[in-house]
Amino acid sequence: MAFHAAVEELMREVTEKVILKRFQNLKDGDVEDKGGNDPVTVADRESEEMLSEGLAKIIPGLPIVGEEAAHADKSVLDRLSGDCWIVDPIDGTRNFATGKPPFGILLAMASGGEAHTGWIYDCLSGRLCTAHRGKGAFVNGEKVDARATGEASPVAAISLLFMDMGKRDRVMEHIAPHYRLVDVPYCAAEQYPRLGLGENDVSLFERTLAWDHAAGVLWLNEAGGKAARPDGSPYRVDDDPYSGLIGAASPALWEDMAKRLDAMDG
């Protein structure tokens, strides 16, 4: 309990001292593009530095894979195959940089390429989603079970941002008509809770970087939903980050989407 409390306190401290201090208060030069329409702010870097320092105190010596550190030095990604922390200092930077929610902090612990513990923190509301492999999923300390929306046409959030144009066209022609499409939040820290808490039924992701998905995949699966590669294989944090991913509020909803994707590409 002390371990989890220390991680949660660190996330709240970073939120108060760094992230919210910068929210809607970014100045000229505080936002850059890392390339490919992928923004980073001074708050991302400050948050990652403070999180990394704090995590190193909680478990000394455990390697850390931070989004910004990995961008600066690709060799950091080699740590994903072993025991490590995985850090997204501000998930939803695109939103944060424009002064709008949602955005949050994503943390995970992984071993052998698989996440076993995860935290999803909404910086504005204080909602904290946590999961530990084999022990269930929780929101603010209360155990939760994933639930679908129950709508006649399942609600889908389909991320097209990193799909090539040909695949986008096929998805919109063959997949979209079977669902009620809603906007993606550009924030995995929001999308995964939506899938587990009855707001969305299914989501498609093309780019699946470890810091964006490790905690959310674990949390959704522990809640009784399903997140996996389109071929059904488990998500690994050291996989090809462009292998695609389906997240769904139930295994049945996941299977339905997987069959449609398979038929589309068949």
- 150 contacts: CB under 8 Å, gap ≥ 6: 198
Is 91 a known ligand-binding residue?
A: yes
Give yes or no for residue 93 having a pLDDT over 80: yes
> Which pLDDT does position 99 carry in this prediction?
96
Give yes or no for residue 1 having a pLDDT over 80: no
Q: Where are the domains of the chain?
A: 2-144, 155-265
CA distances (Å), origin 54, targets 124, 187, 189, 223: 21, 24, 21, 28
Is 201 a known ligand-binding residue?
A: no
**Bridge partner list, 56:** none
Is 239 a known ligand-binding residue?
A: no
Is 19 a known ligand-binding residue?
A: no
Decide if 2-144 and 155-265 have a common fold: no
pLDDT band (50, 70, 90) for residue 8: very high
Asked if 154 and 231 touch (Cβ cutoff 8 Å), the reply is: no
> Which pLDDT does position 161 carry in this prediction?
85
CATH class belonging to 2-144: alpha beta
pLDDT in tens, 184-232: 999 999 999 999 999 999 999 999 999 999 999 999 999 999 999 999 9
pLDDT in tens, 15-50: 999 999 999 999 989 999 887 678 899 999 999 999
**DSSP class per residue in 59-102:** STT--EEEHHHHHH-GGGGGGGGSSEEEEEEEETHHHHHTT-S-
155-265 CATH, one of 3.40.50.300, 2.40.37.10, 3.40.190.80, 3.30.1490.150: 3.40.190.80
> Which pLDDT does position 35 carry in this prediction?
74
Is 212 a known ligand-binding residue?
A: yes
